């Protein structure tokens, strides 16, 4: 039986960025398929009692920053703690991921979008920037934008968000495997243990 991870995420989340490459490596090591399911994180927060970052109490914001520094050092990755274009709307970016024709391309574009925000300080709410990112990754940028803006991708994004709420997602990234829910990139090791059983 094929093993499948349902991957609910927002490409604007730094935690998703920190885990995305490792998730891909885990999938390859364990022969697992990833279903990329970008979601409207604001709606997920609204349904689950979460707050957007800048509405959180000061101590929570301070702890988030401390944890980002720790994880950046622990994983030895590039990460701009306060990028120029954050927060911005990631709706079109989410639909761009959905518009990809294969899961491989969805993973590649997802990671490119995350790097654009958290390493390169580019604006992933900007249509031209998104088109260029697609082209840089071997896809037809203008055509990808046209596909991303059609009704089908919006329907899929809405469906992903509804599904995420129904299965108990309350943050990004979240992973569901074998009806078990894992929240956060720091649970990836536990997810891999489950995959090996």
Is the per-residue pLDDT at 44 higher than 80? yes
pLDDT of the residue at 197: 85
Residue 52 binned pLDDT confidence (cut-offs 50, 70, 90): confident
Per-residue pLDDT at 2: 84
- Alpha-carbon distance of 181 to 167, in angstroms, equals 8
Domain region containing 134: 4-196
Confidence at residue 49, expressed as pLDDT on a 0 to 100 scale: 79
pLDDT of 18 > 80? The answer is yes
Segment 108-131 shows an average pLDDT of 97
Segment 48-66 shows an average pLDDT of: 86
- Whole-number pLDDT of residue 171: 94
Domain count of the fold of the chain: 1
Q: How many residues does the chain have?
A: 197
Residue 78, Cβ density class (10 Å: 0-12 exposed, 13-18 middle, ≥19 buried) = exposed
Whether omega for the bond prior to residue 87 falls within 30 degrees of 0, making it cis, is yes
Q: What is the pLDDT of residues 173-190, one digit of tens each?
A: 999 999 999 999 999 999
The SS3 call for residue 33 is: strand
Task: Write down the pLDDT at residue 83.
Answer: 96
Q: Is pLDDT of 55 > 90?
A: no
Q: What angle is formed at CA 147 by the lines to CA 145 and CA 151, rounded to 5 degrees?
A: 120
CATH of the domain at 10: 3.40.30.10
pLDDT at 41: 94
The mean predicted confidence, pLDDT, of the chain is 95
């Amino acid at each position: 039986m094929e093993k499948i991870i349902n991957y609910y995420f927002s490409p604007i989340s730094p935690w998703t960025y920190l885990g995305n490459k490792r998730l891909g490596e885990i999938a390859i090591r364990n022969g697992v398929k990833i279903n990329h399911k970008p979601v409207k994180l604001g709606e997920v927060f609204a349904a689950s009692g979460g707050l957007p970052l800048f509405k959180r109490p000061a101590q929570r914001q301070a702890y988030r920053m401390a944890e980002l520094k720790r994880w950046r050092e622990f994983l030895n990755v590039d990460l701009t703690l306060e990028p120029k274009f954050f927060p911005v709307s990631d709706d079109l970016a989410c639909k761009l991921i959905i518009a990809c024709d294969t899961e491989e391309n969805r993973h590649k574009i997802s990671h490119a979008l995350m790097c654009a925000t958290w390493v390169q300080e580019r604006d992933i709410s900007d249509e031209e920037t998104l088109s260029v990112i697609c082209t840089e990754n071997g896809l037809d940028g203008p055509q990808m934008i046209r596909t991303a803006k059609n009704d089908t991708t919006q329907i899929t994004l809405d469906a992903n968000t509804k599904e995420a709420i129904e299965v108990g997602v309350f943050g990004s990234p979240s992973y569901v495997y074998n009806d078990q829910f894992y929240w956060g990139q720091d649970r990836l090791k536990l997810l891999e243990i489950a995959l090996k059983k």
